[in-house]
């Protein structure tokens, strides 16, 4: 699990712009959005081109490039006439947090099934939580969205997990403790 502390505050002139490890992390982030290796690479390449064209050093290079990738992906996705609106349901804004996901156990095969049910923004959230180690608040800050939107999305992910997971796993999930 990684966070961006090592990259925070880097300016383009301080050192090699991105290490191989950082490029791979950004690629994986792109993969969470696109779900396809070629498209993830294209997205990363496009974002880096945009990053190189900017002249102000961002506070966090990794976050900055992720943001470019996110915005570029949304633009491309919308131009392909898909809809990525977040439907906020007040009922969803209950006491859910990423911690409701912490207690879940899953096998690889079931994860693959669930993964196909997730939309790009849900996969992005799962990536930020599981790989980058972000909390719900950090995800909301990263994506510049209200925390409620993030919680709503977590709730929908949980519903999809519930559908795909074997019954005994669902029982263990329900026994889990929710954040209030």
Partner 1 sequence: MSRKPLRECIAQRFEKESLTPEQLARLQKRLLRTDPVDTDVATDPGINAGAQPSAPATRFVSKHYAMLIIAAALFAVLALPRIWNQDINLPESIAQEVARNHLKMKPLELKSSSMAEIAHFFAQLDFNPINSQVFPLGEKRLLGGRYCSIQGITAAQLRYLDAQGQLVTLYETAYDPQAFSPLPLTDKGEKPLVLYAKGLKMTIWVEKDLLFVSAQAEHNEDLQ
What does the alpha-carbon distance between residue 112 and residue 110 come to, in Å, rounded to a whole number? Answer: 5
Pairwise CA distance, residues 75 & 71, whole Å: 6
Residue with smaller CB distance to partner 1, 92 or 126: 126
Which string of x and - marks every residue 98-137 that binds partner 1 (by CB under 8 A)? ---xx-xxxxxx-x---x----------xx-xxx------
Q: At what angle do helices 147-164 and 167-174 cross, to 10 degrees?
A: 140
Instruction: Assign 15 to helix, strand or coil.
Output: coil
For residue 95, the minimal CB distance to partner 1 (Å) is 19
CB of 12 to partner 1, least distance (A): 6
Counting residues that bind partner 1 (by CB under 8 A) gives: 60
Task: Answer for the pair 73, 120: CB distance below 8 angstroms, yes or no.
Answer: yes
CA-CA distance, 76 to 30, in Å (whole number)? 13
Question: Binding pattern to partner 1, positions 54-73, x when CB under 8 A?
Answer: xxxxxx----x--xx--x--
Task: Give the tokens for residue 63.
Answer: 């976050």
State residue 14 phi and psi, 5-degree precision.
Answer: -70, -40
The region of 43-51, 87-95, 147-155 touching partner 1 under the rule CB under 8 A is 43-51
Binding site for partner 1 (CB under 8 A): 1, 9, 11-14, 16-18, 20, 23-24, 27-28, 31-32, 37, 41-42, 44-46, 48-59, 64, 67-68, 71, 75-76, 79-80, 101-102, 104-109, 111, 115, 126-127, 129-131, 144, 161, 169
């Amino acid at each position: 699990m990684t966070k961006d502390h090592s990259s925070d505050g880097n300016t383009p002139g301080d050192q090699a712009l991105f290490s191989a490890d950082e490029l791979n992390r950004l690629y994986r982030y792109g993969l969470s959005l696109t779900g396809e290796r070629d498209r993830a690479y294209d997205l990363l390449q496009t974002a880096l081109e945009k990053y190189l064209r900017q002249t102000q050093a961002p506070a966090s290079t990794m976050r900055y490039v992720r943001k470019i990738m996110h915005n570029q992906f949304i633009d491309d996705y919308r131009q392909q006439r898909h809809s990525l609106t977040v439907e906020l349901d007040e009922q969803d804004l209950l006491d859910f947090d990423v911690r409701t996901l912490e207690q879940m156990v899953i096998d690889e095969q079931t994860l693959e099934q669930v993964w196909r049910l997730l939309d790009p923004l849900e996969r992005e959230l799962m990536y930020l939580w599981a790989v980058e180690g972000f909390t719900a608040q950090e995800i909301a800050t990263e994506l510049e969205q209200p925390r409620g939107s993030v919680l709503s999305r977590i709730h929908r992910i949980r519903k999809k997990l519930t559908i795909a997971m074997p019954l005994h796993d669902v029982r263990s999930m329900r026994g889990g403790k929710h954040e209030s």
